[in-house]
Amino acid sequence: MKLRDLLPLAVVAVPTSAAAHSFESGADLYAQFVEGASIVAIYPAVFLPLLSLGFLLSLWHPEGMVRAWPAFLIGQLAGIPLATLVGEWILPAMMAAGIVVAALAALLPQPMRILCLGSAALLGALAFMLGLEGHRFLELPILIHLGIFFGVNAAVALAAGISRLAMERVDAPWMRITVRVAASWIAAMLMLILAFTLRGGV
């Protein structure tokens, strides 16, 4: 099952046509960038794991996103050539990894550095492998790659920034617990989507 098969589970409307993520070769530069970024924006199976990573990083350290970004970047760069090797397993793999990362954020009172850096590298690689699935190395225009890069990093930064701001503005144990509860909800949603995917329900 490919990424486009999860279209009925999208939580935001698909821009332009239903085949937007076939990466139209004739699209102008702006459209190419938007196509790449929309891979993250449209599909819960992509952005939910990235949101869980943002929560994990902010629970680890107030500057968790910044500290983990080198590992996250290395993972993304590795995912570009590795995308040529993936098959239909990449979508369940992304969701399974997201469940693990969300569970770490929900269950660990103080996430460990090695777990956070490893999660950043893993999800960075999987996000690009999933976004570029079915395409040869550097087959697509560079702006599509940049769009995916923007979307992947923006999703993590959004979750990390919001959770950090909330915990800084409300310096109370219950706010940190709230972020961990949000991570547990993400894990539950991903388990539901993964179950439907594996049983062919989508």
| Helix axes of 44-60 and 142-169: crossing angle, nearest 10 degrees | 40
Query: Does residue 11 sit within a domain?
Result: no
Task: Note the pTM of the prediction, 2 decimals.
Answer: 0.84
Q: How confident is the model at residue 201 (pLDDT cuts 50, 70, 90)?
A: low
Q: Comparing C-alpha atoms, which of 150, 5, 20, 16 is closest to residue 73?
A: 150
The predicted structure's pLDDT at residue 187: 97
User: How many other C-beta atoms lie within 10 A of the C-beta of residue 3?
Assistant: 20
Question: Does some domain include residue 12?
Answer: no
Distance of CA 73 to the CA centre of its chain: 13
Instruction: Provide the domain count of the chain.
Output: 1
Residue 17 falls within a domain, yes or no? no
Q: What share of the chain in percent tops pLDDT 70?
A: 86
What pLDDT, in 10s, does the model give residues 30-79?
Answer: 888 998 898 898 888 899 999 999 999 999 999 999 999 999 999 999 99
Q: What are the phi and psi torsion angles at 135 (to 5°)?
A: -120, 145
CB of 197 within 8 A of CB of 1? yes
More confident residue, 127 or 88: 127
Query: Is 22 inside any structural domain?
Result: no
Domain membership of residue 117 as a residue range = 30-198
pLDDT digits (tens, 9 = 90+) for 161-175: 999 999 999 989 999
Reported as a pLDDT band with limits 50, 70 and 90, residue 100 is very high
Lowest pLDDT segment from 40-49, 104-113, 150-159, 161-170: 40-49
pLDDT tens profile 1-13:
444 444 444 433 3
The whole-number average pLDDT for the span 75-91 is 93
